[in-house]
Structure 1
Amino acid sequence: MATGTSPHTSTTSGEGALETRGIEPVPVEQRSGRPGQLFWVWFAANISILGLPLGATLVAMHLTVWQAVIAAAVGAVGSFAVVGAVSIAGRRGGAPGLTLSRAVFGARGNVGPTAVSLLSRLGWETVNTTTAAFALLSLATIALGTSPAAKDHPVLTVVAIAVFEALTVLVAGLGHAVLVAVQRWATWVFGALNILVGGFLVATIDWHAVAAAPPGPVGAVIAGVGVIAAGTGIGWANASADMSRYQAPSVRAGALVLSAAAGAGIPLVLLISLGSMLTAGDPALSRADDPVAAIRDMLPAWMAVPYLIAAFGGLLLSNHLSVYSAGLTTLTLGVRVRRVYAVVVDVVVTFLGAIYFILVADGFFGPFIAFISALAVPITAWVGVFVVDMLRRRTYDPAGLMDTGRTSVYWYRGGVEPRALGAWAAAIVIGYLFTTVGPSDDPWFTGPLAGTWFGENGLGWVITFVVGAAGYAALGGARDRS
């Protein structure tokens, strides 16, 4: 029997100080997690001060502050409700999301969605690492008086990257139990710093300019919802089951949805709203190449320090979750190592990527974020197919999930479930028809339907979801072979 787990499969619970379990399903008797744990996990992953630039983006779309608040609430809470819904599969099957996806796409057909997911995770981790390194370099500038240019201090830059990666491995490498505990307690520390910085920033808002801003059209608000949803919850949907696989079977589905929607929604709505208020008072923020640095420049040195620490901490908490998930996705892709080594492999990739983009490349944020944002289309297509499958599938065969050979119950036709893979592929093609890929001033690709209302308002991912879900359902998908 061919398996997708590591060569050192654990027979322990995997929930000690070091989680030794790989992607193999957690036995029912060893699942005792509660939704409250996931609330803190999602809260911690979204308390980064980097939510402020999202608010700046909404104001740049000509929304008023109140319209931005509505867009933030609907987009963030709604998209993380989808994250919570997908996490129900983790409670049912006790396995990571992309491992459960083998039951939907087939042992071989699942390679495509898994590879896309891993690329996306590694991409955002590189963004986190690069931005966090810049935050540490800014702290060094304040404390040591060094030049703010990273290329002037290559050794210091490498050290900054290494510190962030080491702190990431320390938690993500140890695994689920440690991650859940750290995310909860670190939330209070970095949440307090965010409140301190946010309170100071509120005092600098030009409330007259905020009140005088004319409202944007309804279409802009709808587009704003799409921007927030695509930039927050949608990217986490295929990682949600990775955290919920230890949830007790008795946990209600609604509690999982609420834990994700509220856990991520509360900090995101507050931070995005604050970002919109700051930008409404100072429109220059929406035109800044690096809005995070622009906000830092608004602060006196004594307040810039807690701001940068809060930014670093928020990025670290988000990276903990992303790297943990990437490690599991790497194992699902077929790399045969222990889970902790898979985490190390992923971190090495992002370490090298951060060094390149900071010390070698000229420019990074715009083009690179555009690239990984483009991956939202195939990820959303996966979500559409997977959610429809969940509506009918209540159980997963543990042995079948781990068997990637012809003997697997999820082998289907040559290792591929053609209806699922066909719907996924069709959704990707149609979604890109409505999508512009690349920086707005110099796009790499513009779909022939990007000039339509959906395309101009950045809602190609909605089309993708609908086509993936409806196509799979129309083909008679979600046949439960467990």
Structure 2
Amino acid sequence: MTASTTNDHVGTSGTATANEQVGTIETRGIEPVPDAERHGHASQMFWTWFAANISILGLPLGATLVAFRGLNIWQAVLVAAIGSFGSFALVGVLSLAGKKGGAPALTLSRAVFGQRGNAGPTLISWLSRVGWETITTTTAAYALLALVRWIFGWHQNTVLTLVCLLVFIGCTLLISGLGHATIMWINKWATVVFGVLNLIVMGFLVATVDWDKVLHVHAGPVSGVVAGVGFIAAGTGIGWANAGADYARYLPRKLPGGRLVTASAFGAGIPLVLLISLGSLLSAGDTTLASASDPVAAINGMLPSWMAVPYLIAAFGGLLMSNHLSTYSAGLTMLTLGLRVRRHLAVTVDVVLMFLGGVYFMLIAKDFYGPFSTFLTLLAVPISAWVGVILVDSARGRGYDPAGLMDTTRTSRYWYTGGLHLPAVLAWAVAIVTGLLFTEASTSADDVWFAGPWAHTWLGVNGLGWAVSMAVGALLYGALGRRPAVLPGQDAGAGSAAGAPPAGAEGTGR
């Protein structure tokens, strides 16, 4: 092993048992998981994505479909189903690479883009994770502030805001720092608890719906439905597309891929359709939820006062379930970028940035939803371009050489030309530029962050720049790239070292 890759393997000797035990720190970094340490069932992906999507952030997404997209409730439910199930089926498809190669998504991406070429997609993915964590942390801190005010009568101030941020971040660090085995265990049982609480809260919210207004809302145009599907997909599954393999890498190679895809789609789709549909119902009678600067307070105001405590606990817990997954993936992504620390320390670095972002949103920024929507719009484009390239590469039967993935020097099988796999890098870059041509990112009509020259065409107005980016990335890489070569003996030797079969035999579980 070369000196430059030593830190990717920190703490792997004699730690197989620790990596599989709930409550102990996972010492594995980004190196591929040997077959001897693979375990679990497809149901783990169901609980993982259910946990990631039981937060109240689904409600303002649904509210937007009615308030800003002009859809009626039936169209909103259809859009929620297609956008949620469809985008997380895509996450499941991308997760197959984790099962096949045994490594995190962005580490496997080295085989596609080259050791240096992968830096761009990895950096964008890390920024995406930090952004989602900041949004989630801010919302959870608002929930905790409201809970403290209800129980103790303490009103928000700077010190109390900082304390609430630190409490949530501390809970996130505890779970994500321990690692994969603990996350999988908590996903299942905590999801049941917070899921039941959310169902109770949702029942009371349904009672506040103005059904007369809901049933008399006229249907929106077909273009609004198409745009709505794109908006929901971008705000849900596309945001997790670059993390799916992170949680599938411990699954047995022989696990049928179809089960993993189905579990991912239903695990996320069930809670998302319920939450988005409810948000649409609420907004049909009162559009203020769609533009609320504090969605936690807006939803709390719709409930009976005695429901405040269970609602706020459910909100806090649901957001925590999403945040610890995002933070875990961010830590792995930082290691892929080259941060030379242990995995749990990489998570610690990440939460510091999360805290600073929360401080900005809560104490400096005046608008919550505007920056949230703008953030989704911009980062969805490069992530979608990456997805397009990866989908085509995976469809060609990519096998992964464990030694090549971890060797970041010129001796790596994935060094290609100067560290760049030019067909993939070029397709990704062109796809980003093309997608941005159709993209406008703004918090309001008077606060435009970025606007492409074709942002006011049908595709641009309907927020489909990310879809253009994905299509262009896939088509261009399909035209430029070639089927990955299998070098005699190289994959076989590397595969044996990691407890994996030769590259030609990989993926037979699909």
Sort the TM-score into its range (normalised by shorter chain). over 0.9
CA contact (8 A) 2:134 2:357 kept: yes
Render the CA deviation track for 1:389-422: whole Å, top value 9, x for unaligned. 0011342000000000000000000000000000
Matched residues in 2 for 1:40 and 1:261: separation? 11
* Correspondence 1:452 to 2:457: yes
Cα shift readout 1:312-359 (whole Å, capped 9, x = no counterpart): 111100001000000000000000100010011101111122123322
Cα deviation for residue 372 of structure 1 reads 4.9
Separation in structure 2 between the aligned mates of residue 4 and residue 103 of structure 1, nearest angstrom: 19
Identity of aligned residues (%): 62
The answer to whether structure 1 residue 211 and structure 2 residue 211 are counterparts is no
Measure the CA separation in 2 of the matches of 1:338 and 1:369: 34
- Counterpart CA distance in 2 for 1:50 and 1:112 is 28
SS at match of 2:191: helix
Supply the distance in 1 between the matched residues of 2:440 and 2:104 (Cα, whole angstroms).
31
What do residues 13-64 of structure 1 show as CA deviations (whole Å, max 9, x unaligned)? 2222221100000001211121111110110110112211111011021101
Q: Is the 8 A contact 2:370 2:444 kept in 1?
A: no
Which amino acid counterpart does residue 230 of structure 1 have in structure 2? A
Matched, 1:346 2:350: yes
Unaligned runs of 5+ in 1: none
Name which of 104, 117, 128 aligns with 1:96: 104
* Paired amino acid for 1:345: V
Q: Which runs of 4+ in 1 moved over 4 A?
A: none
The separation in 1 between residues aligned to 2:485 and 2:70, in whole angstroms, is 47
Q: Give the Cα separation in 2 of the matches to 1:317 and 1:419.
A: 38
Q: Which secondary structure does the structure 2 equivalent of 1:449 belong to?
A: coil
For 1:258, the aligned partner's letter is: T
Q: Which residue of 2 aligns with 1:367?
A: 371
Within a 5 Å distance, the mapping from 1:12-91 to structure 2 comes to 12-13=15-16, 14-16=19-21, 17-60=24-67, 61-91=69-99
Query: Is the Cα contact below 8 Å between 1:50 and 1:311 reproduced in 2?
Result: no
Q: Deviations over 1:71-125 (max 9, x none)?
A: 0000000000000000000000000000000000000000000000001101110
Query: Aligned AA for 1:107?
Result: Q
Contact 1:45 1:317 in 2 (8 A): yes
Aligned-partner Cα distance in 2 for 1:4–1:474? 37
Higher relative contact order, structure no. (Cα contacts within 8 Å, ≥ 6 residues apart): 1
Is the CA contact (8 Å cut-off) linking 2:9 and 2:29 kept in structure 1?
no
Separation in 2, partners of 1:438, 1:4: 43
C-alpha deviation, 1:292, in angstroms: 3.3
Q: Does 1:124 align with 2:129?
A: no
Pick closer, same or farther for the CA change 1:255–1:374 going to 2, 3 Å: same
Which residue of structure 2 aligns with residue 244 of structure 1? 248
User: What does residue range 70-469 of structure 1 map to in structure 2 within 5 Å?
Assistant: 70-147=78-155, 150=156, 153-367=157-371, 369-441=373-445, 442-469=447-474
Deviations 1:225-263 (A, max 9, x none): 000000000010110000000011111111111111000
> Is the 1:6–1:335 contact (alpha carbons within 8 Å) kept by the matching residues of 2?
no
Flag structure 2 segments of 5+ consecutive residues without an equivalent. Answer: 492-510
Greater shift, 2-11 or 377-386, is seen at 2-11
What's the CA shift for 1:287? Answer: 4.0
CA drift of 1:440 comes to 3.4
Cα separation, 2, equivalents of 1:221 and 1:451: 18
**Per the alignment, do residues 350 and 102 of structure 1 end up closer, same or farther by CA in structure 2, a change over 3 Å counting?**
same
Counterpart Cα distance in 2 of 1:282 and 1:363: 19
Question: CA–CA distance in 2 between the matches of 1:440 and 1:377?
Answer: 20
CA distance in 1, matches of 2:142, 2:482: 47
- Is the partner of 1:443 in helix, strand or coil? strand
Could you give the per-residue CA deviations for residues 163-188 of structure 1, whole angstroms, max 9, x where no partner exists? 10111111100000000000110011
Which amino acid in 2 is paired with 1:453? W
SS of the aligned residue for 2:310 comes to helix
State the AA in 2 paired with 1:98: L
Q: Does 1:8 align with 2:16?
A: no
Query: Partner of 2:507 in structure 1?
Result: none
- Closer/same/farther in 2, CA of residues 78 and 4 from structure 1, 3 Å limit: farther
CA shift for structure 1 position 365 = 4.1
- Matched with 2:496 is none
Q: For residues 283 and 383 of structure 1, do their structure 2 counterparts lie closer, same or farther at Cα, with a shift above 3 Å needed? A: same
